[in-house]
Chains A and B, each alone.
Chain A
Amino acid sequence: NAGVMQNPRHLVRRRGQEARLRCSPMKGHSHVYWYRQLPEEGLKFMVYLQKENIIDESGMPKERFSAEFPKEGPSILRIQQVVRGDSAAYFCASSPRHNEKLFFGSGTQLSVL
């Protein structure tokens, strides 16, 4: 049973480009959470999704950031027109039901040049 899969592990983008981060939850998990970790800081909540629905996006900047979790395929976190301040580690976690323990992916390290 594969764990939570995130790709790519490392992503380098120039300012103004788009970044797409993918997360495939564990089999049978329909709840996905995205977190961002800035240097020297803890995990900050961004968005919580259930299949095809955004449940809570209160932690996600209103501009340039979007997330989806389609019926088929992985969850995608999309950052348009990246800026240097977007450089961070982005973690995805999944669970079979809301508020149960989270299973984390290995993260995507985004570097914006």
Chain B
Amino acid sequence: ILNVEQSPQSLHVQEGDSTNFTCSFPSSNFYALHWYRWETAKSPEALFVMTLNGDEKKKGRISATLNTKEGYSYLYIKGSQPEDSATYLCAFSPNTGNQFYFGTGTSLTVIP
């Protein structure tokens, strides 16, 4: 079983604040790193798929970076809005086997 860790477990920020959180994964046998957003009462929805060391992806106010050599990815949200409140999951895919290994997520609450 591979370990994918996310920190912090939960986060409360004021509307307008920028925030970031971390996903740590094994640095060997890397194939891909996924980020998903999971709003309450909905299904997880893909944000980014990252495959190359140094990758940076951006979608509106949300961006992500990837460091495969040291085994971490950061997700950044600029100017948080209440609608950003959700759990953010990362999933590691090794180049061996067929699984995606999910972290337990970071729960973000944006206070208006």
Contact A42 B89 (CB under 8 A): yes
Asked if B67 is at the interface (CB within 8 A of a chain A CB), the reply is: no
Q: Number of A residues whose C-beta is below 8 Å from B?
A: 26
| Contact status of A58 and B102, CB under 8 A, knowing A42-B89, A106-B42 | no
> Smallest CB–CB gap between A7 and chain B, Å?
14
B99 near A42 (CB under 8 angstroms)? Answer: no
Given A48-B99, A55-B98: A99 and B32 interface contact (C-beta under 8 Å): yes
State the Cβ distance, B36 to closest chain A Cβ, in Å. 8
Interface flags for A55-85 (1: CB within 8 Å of B; 0: not) read 1101100000000000000000000000000
User: Among residues 59 to 112 in chain B, which have CB atoms less than 8 Å away from a CB atom of chain A?
Assistant: 89, 91, 93, 97-105
Which residues 1-24 of A have a CB within 8 angstroms of B? 3-4
Tell whether A45 pairs with B100 under 8 Å between CB atoms, given A99-B32, A102-B34: yes
Interface of B is mostly: strand
Which residues from 78 to 113 on chain A have a C-beta closer than 8 Å to any C-beta of chain B? Answer: 91, 93, 98-107
Q: B34: shortest Cβ distance to chain A, in Å?
A: 6
Interface contact B46-A101, CB-CB below 8 Å: yes
Does residue B29 face the partner (Cβ distance < 8 Å to A)?
Answer: no
Contact B99 A56 (CB under 8 A): yes
Q: Which of B36, B44, B93, B97 is most buried by chain A, counting CB atoms within 10 A of its CB?
A: B44
For B99, list chain A residues within 8 Å (CB).
45, 48, 56, 58-59
On B, residues with C-beta under 8 Å from A are 31-32, 34, 36, 42-46, 49, 89, 91, 93, 97-105
**Residues on A facing B (Cβ under 8 Å):** 3-4, 33, 35, 41-45, 48, 55-56, 58-59, 91, 93, 98-107
